[in-house]
Amino acid sequence: MKTLTTLALAAALAAATASGSALASDDLAKKNGCIACHDAAAKKVGPTWKDIAAKNKGNEKGVAEAIVKGSKDKYGKIPMPPQAKAAADAPALAKWILTH
Ligand code: HEC
């Protein structure tokens, strides 16, 4: 009985840790301040996630790089400043952006 309880507890803890560490990418976009300039479908300062996904099909790596290094002259006259602080989250963000 004691073993069972311990096992159940361990499983619950593992599940909590997994969901706690993998932020949904909506939250990542919020956390990194992307939503100040981007939205899924409404054009703000930057292009929509949909426009970016359409232009970068299958190019997850390129998108992740653009997030960290910034981008200019691709969508309009306003450049995107480099988002170096988002470097650790860039691969997850890129993957998520391309699902739009
Ligand atoms: C200060 C406003 C601003 C912020 C903050 C910002 N962006 Fe941008 N972003 C832009 C603009 C403007 C463009 C269009 C640049 C261009 O024309 O090449 C852009 C373009 C992009 C692109 C397209 C790159 C490409 O090569 O097609 C991606 C991806 C992107 N942003 C992701 C993000 C993510 C993720 C964040 C948060 C970590 C973020 N942006 C934060 C303004 C911003």
CATH number of 23-97: 3.30.390.30, 1.10.760.10, 2.120.10.80, 1.20.1440.230?
1.10.760.10
Average pLDDT over residues 71-85: 97
For residue 6, the model assigns a pLDDT of 55
For residue 16, the model assigns a pLDDT of 41
Nearest atom of ligand 1 to the alpha carbon of 97: 29
* pLDDT tens digits for range 10-66: 554 444 444 444 688 999 999 999 999 999 999 999 999 999 999 999 999 999 999
The C-alpha atoms of residue 75 and residue 55 are separated, in whole angstroms, by 10
- For 67, the enclosing helix (H) or strand (E) is helix 60-69
Closest CA to 97 of 47, 59, 36, 53: 53
Domain ranges of the chain: 23-97
Inter-CA distances, 38 with 2, 13, 14, Å:
51, 35, 34
**Pocket, ligand 1, Cβ cutoff 6 A:** 32-34, 36-38, 45-47, 52, 55-56, 63, 66-67, 71-76, 78-81, 83, 86, 93, 97
HSE value, Cβ hemisphere, 13 Å, CA-based, for 54: 9
- DSSP-derived letter for residue 78 is P
**CA 85, chain centre distance (Å):** 13
* pLDDT tens digits for range 53-63: 999 999 999 99
Considering the entire predicted model, what is its pTM? Answer: 0.84
For residue 21, the model assigns a pLDDT of 46
Q: Residue for token digits 């450049």? A: 79
